[in-house]
Structure 1
Amino acid sequence: MTVRVVLALTLALAIFDASAQDLSNICHAASSYDVTVNDSNVVFDRPQPAPRQVVMHDGTLSTDGRTVALRPDEEDRVALFERNLRALVPKVKAIASDGIDLAARAVRDEAATAAPDAVRSGELDRVLAQRVTEIKRRIAASRSTRDWQEEAMREYANEIVSDVAPILTNDVGTQAMNLAMNGDLEGAAALRDRVSALTSGGQDRIVGQLEARLRPRVQALCPSIRQLAELQTGLHNASGQPLNLVDIEGR
């Protein structure tokens, strides 16, 4: 397995775990909706079933384009739901942004065992930092959970790999050629072992580090998630059905 493939696998999984941390497993919470937080409103949407779109704005509620009549206490709950959801956004973004840093640093440390010259030269750090900065900028500008799905995270990972892999591949290739030309069979074998260690254990090590560092921060969000579920209790859509934006296991 090449260095490029190794990095693609490890970084894709690491970034996805860092950004999402699977709230369904940690907080036992899930939603069938994507959420977009705009300046003027919060929009929940999904392909099926109805209601396919739920919009909240300053204590008002509409589902699939129809305004929902609310009592004053229900208006207060809708407004509080929106406010609390908005308060969660920077916290989630902070976890994802820090996760990108941790994942990239961990992959850099793992890769350095196979390509130490790339680290010593500073080229690996320069290229990696540039790409990570761009991804973090996109995280900061994000407004929708669509930007946090697995496909998007893997795209981010592939962008990093496309920049970093050539540097590592060139370093490993140069080392192997020099060792072979000098007849250093033991050195060549050691190089193969380092690459093999990155292939076989790097992913588990990286994910383990991320889970240990980020899981407590995700767990700290669980009470806020549960509060959102409580605030929606008793609210209905325009057809009179219970509003079900957040599902909590066991409720």
Structure 2
Amino acid sequence: MRLNRLLPVVMFAMACGGLHAQDLATVCRATSSYDLTVRPNQLIFDRPAPAPTRVILTDGALITDGQTVALNDEDQDRLALFQRDLRALMPRVKAVAQQGVDVTMQAVRDESGGLDLDADTQAELDRRLAAHAAELHQRIAASESTHDWHGDAANQYANQVINDIAPLLASALGQQAVSAAVSGDLQQAAALRDRATHLATGFQPRLQQRLQVLRPQIQALCPSIQRLSVLQEGIRASNGRPLNLVQVGQ
């Protein structure tokens, strides 16, 4: 998921639909047109256009679109620091993502509390949410590329959760509605409909509000991102264009 071309490493955080609420383009004014793939001895930045479309940083060397760029000692040192600092930033970004998963899953649990689910359904819902949370935590921990979180992939993860829990909730609400109808309790039936509508239409904005808890952690990333932007300044690709791997607005 591109999300306004955020700083590539930050896209590791996009584990599910709600986790992009704290957008670095807003919080840190940081953007990038590149994706990032992390390898043991390389950082690979790629994009469709414009050139350079592929930038490789490795052991103080810079390769853009297959051409090795001649660097003076100062530029080599700055790119070495850039690589070190970016690798150090990744665990911090992933930690925010992991917390975002927990906030999102807890939000679903809390929302379901207003549906008066029976004990068995609530237990099954909790089990499924815990399983999805564990899977997302594992995916974030194992991810080595922002390509893992592009729109289709990220939406697929979110849809997996929705498609798993929606039928469970619908079945439980349906049973409650049948019971209300059989007993002639039209007021209860209407209340069930209202609760379902409230959950369906209002969950996303309420989740966005909950995710504000992540804002301080994201703000704490901003100085490191700004430092990355400074370290790359003045370094150019083989075609003479500035790298601009990270862009920070004023």
Relative to the length of structure 2, the TM-score reads 0.89
| Separation (CA, whole Å) in 2 of partners of 1:107 and 1:119 | 17
* CA distance in 1: counterparts of 2:94 and 2:185, whole angstroms: 49
Alignment of 1:60-71 (within 5 A): 60-71=61-72
Q: What is the rounded CA distance, in whole Å, between the counterparts of 1:20 and 1:40 in structure 2?
A: 32
Q: How far apart, CA to CA, are the structure 2 residues paired with 1:31 and 1:119?
A: 47
**Equivalent position of 2:98 in the other structure:** 97
Q: Which residue of 2 aligns with 1:236?
A: 236
Return the offset for 1:169: 1.0
CA contact (8 A) 1:27 1:222 kept: yes
> 1:156-191: CA deviations, max 9, x gaps?
111111211121111001100011111111211221
- Whether the 8 Å contact between 1:36 and 1:42 is mirrored in structure 2 is yes
How far, CA to CA, are the matches of 2:58 and 2:165 in structure 1? 44
Partner residue of 1:10? none
Kindly provide the amino acid, as one letter, of the partner of residue 23 in structure 1.
L
Partners of 2:229 and 2:246 within 8 A in 1? yes
* Corresponding residue SS for 1:116: coil
* Number of the residue aligned with 2:42: 41
Deviations 1:136-172 (A, max 9, x none): 1111110111223343322111111121112111100
Q: Which moved more, 1:196-205 or 1:226-235?
A: 196-205
Aligned partners of 1:176 and 1:191 also within 8 Å: yes
1:133 is aligned to 134
Matching residue of 1:182: 183
Q: Is the 8 A contact 1:19 1:97 kept in 2?
A: no
Count matched residues.
Answer: 237
Q: Which amino acid in structure 2 is aligned with residue 160 of structure 1?
A: V
Cα-to-partner distance string for 1:16-56 (whole Å, 9 max, x where unaligned)? 34256221111111001001111110000001111010000
Is the Cα–Cα contact under 8 Å of residues 15 and 136 in structure 2 kept in the other structure?
A: no
**Once structures 1 and 2 are overlaid, which stretch shifts more, 135-144 or 192-201?**
192-201
Residues 41-74 of structure 1, C-alpha deviations (whole Å, 9 max, x = no match): 0000001111010000121111011111111111
Deviates more, 1:25-34 or 1:234-243: 234-243
Query: Are residues 119 and 23 of structure 1, via their aligned partners in 2, closer, same or farther at CA, if it must alter by over 3 Å?
Result: farther
Residue aligning to 2:148: 147
- Give the equivalent residue in structure 2 for 1:225: 225
The Cα of 1:194 is off from its aligned counterpart by 1.3
| TM score, norm. by length of structure 1 | 0.88
Alpha-carbon spacing, 1:93–1:173, altered in 2? closer, same or farther (3 Å): same
- Rounded Cα–Cα distance in structure 2 between residues aligned with 1:121 and 1:67: 59
Task: Return the alpha-carbon distance in structure 2 between the equivalents of residues 131 and 36 of structure 1.
Answer: 25
Separation in 2, partners of 1:238, 1:69: 9
Distance, in Å, in 1 between the alignment partners of 2:81 and 2:218 is 21
Q: Can you give the 5+ residue segments of structure 2 that lack an aligned partner in the other structure? A: 1-13
Report the RMSD for the aligned CA atoms in angstroms.
1.9
Q: Look up the equivalent residue of 1:66 and give its one-letter code.
A: Q
Q: Distance in 1 between matches of 2:18 and 2:128?
A: 23
Q: What residue ranges of structure 1 are gaps of 5+ in the alignment?
A: 1-12
